[in-house]
Chains A and B, each alone.
Chain A
Amino acid sequence: MRLFSFHLMPYPGLPPEYDGPAWITCPNELFDPGLGTQIYNRYLDELILADELGFDGVCVNEHHQNAYGLMPSPNLMASILARQTKNVRIAVVGNALPLYDPPTRVAEEFAMIDNISGGRLIAGMVVGGGPEYYSFSINPAQARERFAEAHDLIIRAWTEPGPFEFIGKHYRIRYVNSWPRPVQRPHPEVWIPGAGSLETVEFVARHRYAYMGIPYFHISVFERMFNLMRQACENEGYEADPLQLGWLVPIFVADTDEEARRRFEEHFWYFVKRLLPGISISPPGYTSVRSLENIMKGVGTFAEFLEDWDEVIEGQYAIVGSPATVLDRLSENIERLGVGNLLGLFQLGTLPAEDTRRNLELFAAEVAPKLRARFPGTARRVITGAAEVTA
């Protein structure tokens, strides 16, 4: 079992009177640069703390023109973390490949981070969220083919001696010759986040990468998603390794169940009711119609539509409670889902710095050692990316 601390770097300062979406058209006049300076540094501190507390890794991700997550460039964050952390793996989950033109930029920047960190990068690659296709005016009908072509180009840039010529449908580069090359050979472990699109699952299985389930749905949706992934691996002729599966979930630990809910609940509601609206827009052609049909089955359980705390607990939208409660809930779900990577969101919405720190410390001291003992993991049989991984 590998334990990661994932940070979305949310904007906590949306005014109460604003009730529009947090994406695409959320007016950027609502962004306060003074608050920005404060929270960027604070959020980085929270990731560095995870390193000091012995987490296996930290995660950052990419989103544009929104209040949900302030990392249009996760690579900037990862490069800071490459210097300021010592042991953790740095998972960039991921770069939205179709938004980089040419995508050799991703090969270069990821290789820089891998070099600076001494080989601690996990290279996440993602199609990009629906809203990004509006924000960048990239044609969503080309999202999948751009992603696949960019992926091939990046892997070749890392693994084939340059220079070579790449002539694709979307990218044509006469001299591909990326400097630097990554430290991890033949290339860093690759993670792909997904929300249940069949094309993504099949792609991940085919390449033997790891699949990170995008959160904010009822636990049964995750279960179906990971079953799809296991089935896709079976179709490829192998058994999925738990380390090929990652579950992303908000976690909050306090001394007692009552205190945990009291300290956490309002920040959770800020997150789901203020920052999620707009995230789930699915531009035309972004998802194939066959995948859309599959995804639609889970849409009704999207966290934005939650109505009360009982629903949150029942659907495992967040794991909240005393160390014993959190350990039990996590253990049940890890078993149920069969995942080998737990990606915890220890800061969510408006959760303040002190509560976040205490949450991380309690989790590291009271929950993590017992989780590790309960799920010792096994030596890797299947290779994700290509780097050898043990847990």
Chain B
Amino acid sequence: MSAATETGATLVTETMATTVGEILITHGGTGERSPLVYFHSSGGERGDAEVAEFLQLFSQDRRVFAPMLPGFAGSEGLEQIDDMEDAVYHTLDVLDRLGLDAANPPHLAGQSLGGWLAVEIAWRHPERVRSLTLLSAVGLHVPGHPVKELFGRKFDELAEDVFADQSYPTAAAMHGLGALSPRDLAAVPFEMLRPFYESMAAAAKLGWNPYFHNPALPRRLGRVTMPTLVIVGRKDGLVPNAIGEEYARLIAGARLEYVDEGSHMLTLEHPQVVARLMNEHLGG
């Protein structure tokens, strides 16, 4: 499966063998600059769909990679992933196979769950991460600033929490589902809902309890020594800005940026704004 884009940078989406099974990965781009790896959120945004535009903003001058974690978008191996620790070592396996090792460390960027994954890799193996970008990231518990419930929510209410513009296509589709009566919702073809259920089941393995955080993480963040950019959306209704602010406080030298009009799904709704902030940060 491949998708030629109109911007000239061709991204390819295909399966890739890993230790836990075949996973789906979008990759492409060219250039001398260090490669960028993007980790998706619990929503399972895909490199050949929701974040294609975002990835193409980098693929002009560097290679980009967007692997889908086991359980997301048909990636295999979820039965071998029990927690974030397993996701970290699976992802290191993926990076090894892509040749993105300590001799060629990539920039890591992750949204929400993906940001948490990136930071868990970064403190374990700082030598393998050239820079870190945390977008609406979870992973820390800040007393008084709980992450709102993700699981079992009504589609329309969840859309209100994670999108700034309710007419954004994904948000609009969620409002459409939210408006259905229970009987009508039961009649929606299962294939339409399958990706959502699969993504949530995979996310639950990592984030059910402790709820999207690692209690030990604050004690580890001193090991995060690479340049770090933390981006939060001021309108995020799911993950409080306080969590991004706490990352910025605990990671030495981290830069904190706010997207005034942004909610939670920054790379979907504001790819240009995020890419501009990141390009400055990534440098070479």
Contact = CB atoms under 8 A, between A and B. Distances in A.
Contact of B197 (A284, A297, A302): A284
A302 B204 contact: no
A134 B152 CA distance: 10
B201 A289 contact: yes
A140 B208 contact: yes
A133 B149 CA distance: 13
Given A281-B152, A285-B204, A296 B209 contact: no
A299 B188 CA distance: 11
Given A284-B204, A304-B182, A292 B152 contact: no
A299 B186 contact: yes
Nearest to A282: B152
Nearest to A136: B209
A175 B246 CA distance: 44
Given A299-B182, A302-B182, A284 B151 contact: yes
A148 to B, nearest CB: 14
B186 A283 contact: no
The listed residue with most A CB atoms (<10 A of its CB), out of B203, B209, B211, is: B209
B204 A305 contact: no
A141 interface: yes
B197 A283 contact: no
The listed residue with most B CB atoms (<10 A of its CB), out of A130, A139, A305, is: A139
Interface residues of A, number: 24
Contacts of B190: 292-293, 296
A35 interface: no
A293 B211 CA distance: 27
Contacts of B204: 139-141, 283-285
A13 B204 CA distance: 35
A41 interface: no
Interface string A256-292: 0000000000000000000000000111110001001
Contacts of A285: 200-202, 204-205
A296 to B, nearest CB: 6
B183 A284 contact: no
A284 B203 contact: yes
B205 A305 contact: no
A289 B197 contact: yes
A300 B152 contact: no
Interface in A357-383: none
A382 to B, nearest CB: 32
A137 interface: yes
Interface string A119-151: 000000000001001100111111000000000
Contact of A139 (B152, B185, B186, B208): B208
B205 A141 contact: yes
Nearest to A285: B201
Nearest to B187: A300
Interface string B172-204: 000000000111011100100010011011111
A289 B78 CA distance: 13
B201 A141 contact: yes
A262 B199 CA distance: 48
B146 to A, nearest CB: 13
A32 B274 CA distance: 53
Given A285-B201, A289-B197, A292-B197, A137 B208 contact: yes
Contacts of A142: 82
A300 B151 contact: no
A139 B182 contact: no
A302 B182 CA distance: 9
A130 B194 CA distance: 19
A287 to B, nearest CB: 9
Contacts of B183: 300, 305
A111 to B, nearest CB: 30
Nearest to A302: B182
B59 to A, nearest CB: 32
Nearest to A298: B186
Contacts of B198: 289
B151 A305 contact: no
A283 B151 contact: yes
Contact of B208 (A141, A281, A302, A304): A141
A284 B204 CA distance: 6
A300 B186 CA distance: 5
Contacts of A282: 152
Contacts of A305: 181-183
A293 B194 CA distance: 9
A296 B205 CA distance: 22
Nearest to B203: A284
Contacts of B203: 284
Contacts of A284: 151-152, 197, 200-201, 203-204, 208
A134 B203 CA distance: 15
B238 to A, nearest CB: 15
The listed residue with most B CB atoms (<10 A of its CB), out of A133, A137, A285, A299, is: A285
19 contacts: A134-B151, A139-B208, A139-B209, A140-B208, A141-B201, A141-B205, A142-B82, A284-B197, A284-B200, A284-B201, A285-B204, A289-B198, A297-B186, A299-B185, A299-B186, A300-B186, A300-B187, A302-B182, A305-B182
Given A142-B82, A299-B185, 18 more contacts: A137-B208, A137-B209, A137-B211, A139-B209, A141-B204, A141-B208, A281-B152, A283-B152, A283-B204, A283-B208, A284-B151, A284-B203, A284-B204, A289-B198, A293-B190, A296-B186, A304-B182, A305-B182
Would you list the 10 A-B pairs with minimal beta carbon distance, nearest first? Answer: A300-B186, A284-B200, A285-B201, A284-B204, A299-B186, A139-B208, A300-B183, A137-B209, A284-B201, A141-B205
